[in-house]
Amino acid sequence: MTDLRARAGLRLGRGLWLVPPWMAPALVLCAVVLIPWIALLFLTLPRHYTANHWPLAWGGFDVGLGIALASTGIQVARRSPYAEVTAAITGTLLCCDAWFDVLTSRGTSDVLQALASALLIELPIAITCFWVARNIAQAVETVRPFLIASGFTIARNKLVPPPGADQPTPSASPMSSPPGPRT
């Protein structure tokens, strides 16, 4: 069984990789750079702050969340492999929404309402989105060896059928079957 995964590290793929090999180190570098920035924010931001454009910030976030939910629904309905990505994004946005709803609530009633919304709506949908993303990823991993065995390759980050696969076979052509009795 052939594995399409490249060895860890940077190497030239000549278009034979699904994700550029420099992507992982770049993302890890971004995460490392973010650590001191987060520490600086915790140390320097005021404990209480009145935000300008508060309705626009939350409304804009919810518009983005709505687009993510709709995109995931459409991709799942189309049975698109991109549903893995949109489901992961949507799940992440839902977790962020729950987190900030709870932490920015004031008063017992608002906190309880935010907790109920997080526990009964946002987090269950997020878990479902992550489940969808995981299942699609597992399906792709399951089918990969069969595609390789059938002669499929990857060129310029696209799945390429084996030579002649795009040509209809004689047995599949409706014109090639022997004529039957006419009624």
In 3D space, the residue among 52, 17, 21 whose CA is nearest the CA of residue 153 turns out to be 17
Q: For residue 6, is pLDDT > 70?
A: no
Q: Phi and psi at residue 161, in whole multiples of 5°?
A: -70, 160
Write the DSSP string, 88-101. HHHHHHHHHHHHHH
Q: Which two tokens stand for residue 1?
A: 């069984």
Mean of the per-residue pLDDT values of the chain:
80
pLDDT at res. 5:
42
Q: For residue 104, is pLDDT > 60?
A: yes
- Under DSSP, is residue 154 helix (H, G, I), strand (E, B) or coil? strand
Q: For residue 95, is pLDDT > 90?
A: yes
The pLDDT-based confidence of 174 (bands split at 50, 70, 90) is very low
The 10s digit of each residue's pLDDT in 111-164 is: 999 999 999 999 999 999 999 999 888 888 888 888 888 888 877 767 888 887
Q: Is residue 113 within 8 Å of 105, Cβ to Cβ? A: yes
pLDDT at res. 63:
92
Measure CA 15 to chain center. 22
Decide which of 1 and 55 is more confident: 55
Q: For residue 58, is pLDDT > 60?
A: yes
By CB atoms closer than 10 A (0-12, 13-18, 19+), residue 10 is: exposed
Alpha carbon distance 78, 72 (integer Å): 10
The residue extents of the domains of the chain are: 57-161
Q: Which two tokens stand for residue 150?
A: 């059938």
In 3D space, the residue among 18, 11, 17 whose CA is nearest the CA of residue 137 turns out to be 18
Alpha carbon distance 108, 102 (integer Å): 11
